[in-house]
Amino acid sequence: MTRGRGAGSGSDEPAARPVQLALAPAMSDALARWLDGERATRDRSDHTIAAYQADLLAFLAFLGMHHGAPAVPGRLGDLTQSDIRAFAASERGRGISARSLARRLSAIRSFLRWIADREGLDVSRALSTRAPRYQRSLPRPLGRDQARAVLDLAAVSHDTPWVAARDTAVLTLLYGCGLRISEALALNGRDWPLAEALTIRGKGGRERQVPVLPVARQAIAAYLRLSPWDLGPDDPLFRGVRGGRLSAGAVEKLMVQLRHGLGLPPTATPHALRHSFATHLLAAGGDLRTIQELLGHARLSTTQVYTGVDDARLVDVHRAAHPRS
């Protein structure tokens, strides 16, 4: 079996793949049809479809090298646990993390189930392979005082008043509504003025209703009063200095500046404000189901990581305050 270079080559990136056999036309067609189905019937995002395509191309290329001939749909029923384990070992040897490998194997299982239904194949042996275990990393939220400090500093961080007001409005929206940065920056003029609840179309096309705090509405209104740009229905709500849509990179750069000014760790990113929204709601008595809806998580297990964050915070408080510590 041909493998790429190992993870010990001195780089954090996965090792390059060796020269691959061309994908068989029938398999290429099957993969395209599966991806089209995922996009149409499951409303997958373009990012997810691209990830699935990369996952399956990696797997099918490995099968071609492993067996010495391009993989074809009718032979996928011959796959065994040994084939899947060999692929997993090859990926780990390239430096793929356990988490990324688990996601890759999940996409492969979905594709195998789909093609088994259409080709009348038995892929149970391949599907019986367990995914690698990995430790789900906990979010790194800011404390309440830290979040307030970020917003206060953003208000005076730029010499141009409308830019400082814009930065404050964006960060207030992330922290006050728990939006992803892409969701906040996708807002247009037709979304203003913000209603009591904002309809957000998030990952996988899932829509959710997010209550808008008065402080967020007030921050955006203050920014728009100072903005030199007219706001038409199709214009971006948040603009860059040249008038185009504000980019996520610009907000990330802003957070770098703010965390340096406040002495915060590198984990203080725009997404950390969304984490802070969820964690602070939970600490104030919010229930997980409600927080799941507000964040737009498809699975409750994704939201449950915040219970671990809250438990960790309680342990830290106990250790710091208990007289026997």
Q: From the candidates 94, 104, 166, 274, which is the catalytic residue?
A: 274
Q: From the candidates 94, 166, 180, 275, which is the catalytic residue?
A: 180
Q: From the candidates 104, 239, 259, 271, which is the catalytic residue?
A: 271
Active site residue 99: no
Q: From the candidates 17, 125, 203, 313, which is the catalytic residue?
A: 203
Backbone angles phi, psi at 12, to 5 degrees: -80, -10
Query: What is the rounded distance in angstroms from the CA atom of residue 13 to the CA atom of residue 26?
Result: 32
| C-alpha closest to that of 223 among 203, 239, 207 | 239
Active site residue 47: no
Backbone angles phi, psi at 35, to 5 degrees: -65, -40
Active site residue 274: yes
Query: What is the rounded distance in angstroms from the CA atom of residue 37 to the CA atom of residue 19?
Result: 30
- C-alpha dihedral, 309 to 310 to 312 to 314, nearest 10°: 170
Q: From the candidates 52, 175, 223, 306, which is the catalytic residue?
A: 306
H-type helices in the chain, by residue range?
A: 25-41, 46-67, 81-93, 98-119, 124-127, 144-154, 161-177, 181-185, 214-226, 248-262, 270-283, 288-295, 300-303, 305-321
- C-alpha dihedral, 142 to 145 to 147 to 148, nearest 10°: 180
| C-alpha closest to that of 34 among 109, 86, 101 | 109
Active site residue 180: yes
How would you classify the pairing of strands 197-201 and 207-211?
antiparallel
Active site residue 203: yes
Active site residues: 180, 203, 271, 274, 297, 306
